[in-house]
A = this chain, B = another copy of it.
Amino acid sequence: MMVTPHTDTPRMNSLGKPLEFQQVRSFSEFLCQPLEVEDYVVQTMDDVSPAKWHLAHTTWFFETFILKPHLEGYRPFNDAYEHLFNSYYNSVGVQFSRPHRGLLSRPTVSEIYDYRRYVDERIQKVLNREELVPLFQIGLNHEQQHQELILTDLKHVFGFNPLKPIYRESPNSPCGDRHEFEWLSFEGGIHEIGYEGSDFSFDNEGPRHKVHLEPFSFASRPVTCGEYLEFIGDGGYKTPTLWLSMGWQTVQEQGWNAPMYWENEGKGGLFTLSGLRKIDPEEPVCHLSYFEADAFARWVGARLPTEEEWEVASALAPVEGNFVEEEFYHPRPLHHVAPAGPSMMLGDVWEWTSSQYSAYPGYRAVEGALGEYNGKFMCNQFVLRGGSCATSVTHIRKTYRNFFPPDARWQFSGLRLAKDI
């Protein structure tokens, strides 16, 4: 199928509406409703944070960047929280050690909900101040990022536990038909990518700029579990020449032989937030590291797309998908093929690109502590695009750049193929 891409990709927020404070704040708590108190406390690896930490840190963000500097006479809820719930803002001060977040039984969950109430009440006093809108927008988008982490971190906590607790029972899954993937062709030449507009976007999405691309082919849908099972069956995890050097080392050291949360190479099913169940060959494969996505692509004889290619290809993709609002919490088989252009680019699974995360030409981090938000991570991370079943539809954009180290697997991360023409 030949696709004529728009010469430039969408510049807008997918919805174009500013987020509403109360709605976003409540959604964090909605996501925690199924939890027992104990589930809020635990940290099963360094990258995971306890749910109560997420609830507190997102609150700390509003307290630190809005209330303290902008609400006269504001008295902090608890002075110790400045240190305890600072994630990585060196400009604000020294942070409590990240790998030890799960070693703090106090403050209790109940105290943290009190903290949320306390901050939210005082926020009301400044909620309508025009000059604070940019801060609110970043604060709410920040909280949405942590909402996704709440889900992926809980999945790690539950997946680690031999009792395999269930977060929420799954609604019936719509059956997926088999969709052979097609190669869609895109023309080379000068394209523009990056965000431009007046809605919210993160600083790393801009400036919008020209790139020169060679013609490329782009898969009509993400790789499925069925396809990935063939890779495993063909000895994918035992063939060093398919892997990046660092990937092969990781496979050996970690004993990887299947995606994360697959039991017994898939024969035992996969663990989801709705418990352990069989693998559906038509559902998109997820919980892959970059290393696995890259090795799979090499096995196929294709490659991962660059993030520029991904963004260009997304021009024709519909703004629809399986987002966190569906409350499905897992990617689903493709059931709605896009009329023109690639399907399933938004939602379901984050798609690894071959692009190492770096600054766009002309990028400049904002001044002050918020300048630490994105820029200082531009090293040893790869870009993922498109959002997942744990992302809010009000959060994602086609220009949105997520990034994780190449060995990270606990996100809903899958892949889509590309190749040279």
Q: Are B105 and A38 in contact (CB under 8 A)?
A: yes
Enumerate A356-400 residues with CB–CB distance to B below 8 Å: 356, 358-359, 361-362, 371-372, 376-380
Give the shortest distance, in Å, between A30 (CB) and chain B (any CB): 19
Report if A411 contacts B (CB, 8 A).
Answer: no
Enumerate A145-190 residues with CB–CB distance to B below 8 Å: 157, 160-163, 165, 190
* A102: chain B residues within 8 A (beta carbon): 42, 102-103
Give the shortest distance, in Å, between A100 (CB) and chain B (any CB): 8
Give the shortest distance, in Å, between A202 (CB) and chain B (any CB): 16
Report if A107 contacts B (CB, 8 A).
Answer: yes
- How many identical subunits does the complex contain? 4
Q: Which one, B36, B105, B190, B210, contacts A157 given CB within 8 A?
A: B105
* A290: chain B residues within 8 A (beta carbon): 379
Report if A29 contacts B (CB, 8 A).
Answer: no
Q: Are B162 and A38 in contact (CB under 8 A)?
A: no
Q: Are A380 and B106 in contact (CB under 8 A)?
A: no
Give the shortest distance, in Å, between A48 (CB) and chain B (any CB): 10
* A356: chain B residues within 8 A (beta carbon): 356, 358, 379-380
* A371: chain B residues within 8 A (beta carbon): 241
- As a 0/1 sequence over residues 230 to 244 of chain A, the CB contacts with chain B under 8 angstroms (1 = contact) are 000000000011011
In Å, the complex CA distance between A110 and B211 comes to 55
Report if A274 contacts B (CB, 8 A).
Answer: no
Q: Are A247 and B106 in contact (CB under 8 A)?
A: no
Q: Are A214 and B361 in contact (CB under 8 A)?
A: yes
Closest to A163 in B: B106
* A36: chain B residues within 8 A (beta carbon): 105-106, 108
Interface residue count for A (Cβ, 8 Å)?
A: 64
- As a 0/1 sequence over residues 49 to 87 of chain A, the CB contacts with chain B under 8 angstroms (1 = contact) are 000100000000000000000000000000010011000
Report if A257 contacts B (CB, 8 A).
Answer: no
In Å, the complex CA distance between A162 and B356 comes to 38
Q: Are B90 and A240 in contact (CB under 8 A)?
A: yes
Q: Are A376 and B38 in contact (CB under 8 A)?
A: no
Report if A354 contacts B (CB, 8 A).
Answer: yes
Give the shortest distance, in Å, between A107 (CB) and chain B (any CB): 7
* A41: chain B residues within 8 A (beta carbon): 38, 41-42, 105
* A43: chain B residues within 8 A (beta carbon): 103
* A37: chain B residues within 8 A (beta carbon): 37-38, 108-109
Q: Which one, B42, B88, B372, contacts A103 given CB within 8 A?
A: B42
In Å, the complex CA distance between A106 and B41 comes to 11
* A355: chain B residues within 8 A (beta carbon): 358
In Å, the complex CA distance between A246 and B406 comes to 15
- As a 0/1 sequence over residues 96 to 131 of chain A, the CB contacts with chain B under 8 angstroms (1 = contact) are 100010111111110000000000000000000000
- As a 0/1 sequence over residues 308 to 324 of chain A, the CB contacts with chain B under 8 angstroms (1 = contact) are 00000000000000000
- Knowing A247-B379, A355-B358, the reply to whether A163 touches B40 (Cβ < 8 A) is no
Q: Are A104 and B42 in contact (CB under 8 A)?
A: yes
Report if A267 contacts B (CB, 8 A).
Answer: no
Q: Are A83 and B162 in contact (CB under 8 A)?
A: yes
Report if A212 contacts B (CB, 8 A).
Answer: yes
Q: Which one, B90, B105, B361, contacts A161 given CB within 8 A?
A: B105
In Å, the complex CA distance between A382 and B11 comes to 30
Q: Are B80 and A163 in contact (CB under 8 A)?
A: yes
- Knowing A90-B248, A162-B83, the reply to whether A109 touches B38 (Cβ < 8 A) is yes
The 7 A-B residue pairs whose C-beta atoms are closest, nearest first, are A356-B356, A90-B240, A38-B105, A37-B37, A245-B376, A212-B212, A39-B105
Q: Could you list 29 A-B pairs, sorted by A, with CB under 8 Å?
A: A37-B37, A38-B40, A38-B41, A38-B106, A38-B108, A41-B42, A41-B105, A42-B104, A90-B248, A96-B162, A102-B102, A103-B157, A103-B160, A104-B161, A106-B165, A190-B190, A209-B214, A210-B212, A211-B212, A241-B372, A243-B376, A245-B379, A246-B379, A246-B380, A247-B379, A248-B376, A354-B358, A356-B379, A362-B420
